């Protein structure tokens, strides 16, 4: 039988371990030494110059860049970690990868089969024709697209979205991450729960939405842009560099303005906590 002092020491030790687990998010894998296992799968698909690419992965990034030839090159790296190497290897085998081509549509999927006492995920890197149409989804990871101009729809639960040198439809959403878009003649819908939104480039005719719950919205447009603007922020200000032709309603944290005599673009910018700025693009000095 333990003495009172011994019982007290054991109790303190047990409480310390409980607190350690709680502080680590109730996951012992977060602070235990881990073994890791990785495997890369590669495929090349022959397509036309405007294929449709659908990607769904988890706990991993998606990176898409342009290819100079009519083919889609995919490199998927799955990874897993566990208390020891055998657990990591078993978890790696439990990540199922599928790459299927039907005509000029390619489906790339990474899913975890069942429950595992390990952590894991899959990252996807793709080279595709510039006119490829993209539909991308990661449950936890950043998404980057550069030089793709066939239209992009991308969602991630936690991660940054970065769209560079795009054209056409850009529909992106993150539940927790910033959004950066650089595009020409783009039709934009950009939503995030926590993070800033930045757009630089030109907008197509029609409606455009920029919405974040916590973060600033910064739009940089060509100096000759014409648009109708509705801006709303709960706890900051709204600035617009463009001259106002028609002044609409203005309340605390809300602004409605018309820029240009016949605007065919409608911009809605909404944030709960953050600054909204509509800026004129400045000439770049070479």
Name the phi and psi angles at 120, rounded to 5. Answer: -170, 175
Residues ≥6 apart with Cβ < 8 Å to 96: 109, 110, 111, 112, 113
pTM for the whole structure: 0.84
- CA distance linking residue 232 with residue 194, whole number of Å: 16
Which residue's structure tokens are 């510039």?
Answer: 130
- pLDDT by residue for the chain (286 residues), tens only, comes to 444 444 433 344 343 433 333 344 444 444 454 899 999 999 999 999 999 999 999 999 999 999 989 999 999 999 999 889 998 998 899 999 999 999 999 999 999 886 665 689 999 999 999 999 999 999 899 999 999 999 999 999 899 999 999 999 999 999 899 999 999 999 999 999 889 999 999 999 999 999 998 899 999 999 999 999 999 988 788 888 888 765 555 555 677 888 988 889 999 999 988 899 999 998 765 5
How much is the pLDDT for 284? 65
Residues ≥6 apart with Cβ < 8 Å to 90: 82, 116, 118
- CA distance linking residue 199 with residue 221, whole number of Å: 8
Nearest C-alpha neighbor of 160 from the set 175, 182, 148, 150: 175
Three-state SS at 97: strand
- CA distance linking residue 154 with residue 165, whole number of Å: 15
- CA distance linking residue 27 with residue 263, whole number of Å: 54
Q: Which CA distances in Å does 234 have to 29, 196, 238, 276?
A: 40, 15, 10, 11
How much is the pLDDT for 50? 96
């Amino acid at each position: 039988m333990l003495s009172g002092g011994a019982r007290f020491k054991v109790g303190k030790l047990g409480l310390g371990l409980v607190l350690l687990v709680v502080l680590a998010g109730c996951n012992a894998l977060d602070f235990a030494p881990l073994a890791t296992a990785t495997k890369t799968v590669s495929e090349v698909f022959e397509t036309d110059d405007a294929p449709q690419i659908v990607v769904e992965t988890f706990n991993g990034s998606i990176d898409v860049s342009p290819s100079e030839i009519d083919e889609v090159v995919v490199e998927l790296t799955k990874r897993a970690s566990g208390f020891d190497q055998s657990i990591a290897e078993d978890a790696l085998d439990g990540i199922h990868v599928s790459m299927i081509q039907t005509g000029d549509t390619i489906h790339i999927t990474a899913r975890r089969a069942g429950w595992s006492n390990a952590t894991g995920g899959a990252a996807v890197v793709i080279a595709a024709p510039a006119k490829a149409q993209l539909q991308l989804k990661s449950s936890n990871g950043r998404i980057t697209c550069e030089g793709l101009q066939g239209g992009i729809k991308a969602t991630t639960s936690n991660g940054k979205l970065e769209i560079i040198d795009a054209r056409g439809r850009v529909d992106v959403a993150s539940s927790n991450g910033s959004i950066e878009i650089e595009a020409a003649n783009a039709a934009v819908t950009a939503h995030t729960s926590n993070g800033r939104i930045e757009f630089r480039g030109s907008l197509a005719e029609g409606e455009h939405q920029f919405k974040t719950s916590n973060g600033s919205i910064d739009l940089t447009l060509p100096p000759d842009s014409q648009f109708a603007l509705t801006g709303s922020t709960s706890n900051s200000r709204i600035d617009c560099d463009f001259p106002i032709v028609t002044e609409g309603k203005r309340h605390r944290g809300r602004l409605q303005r018309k820029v240009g005599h016949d605007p065919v673009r409608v911009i809605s910018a909404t944030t709960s906590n953050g600054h909204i700025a509509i800026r004129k693009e400045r000439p770049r000095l070479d």
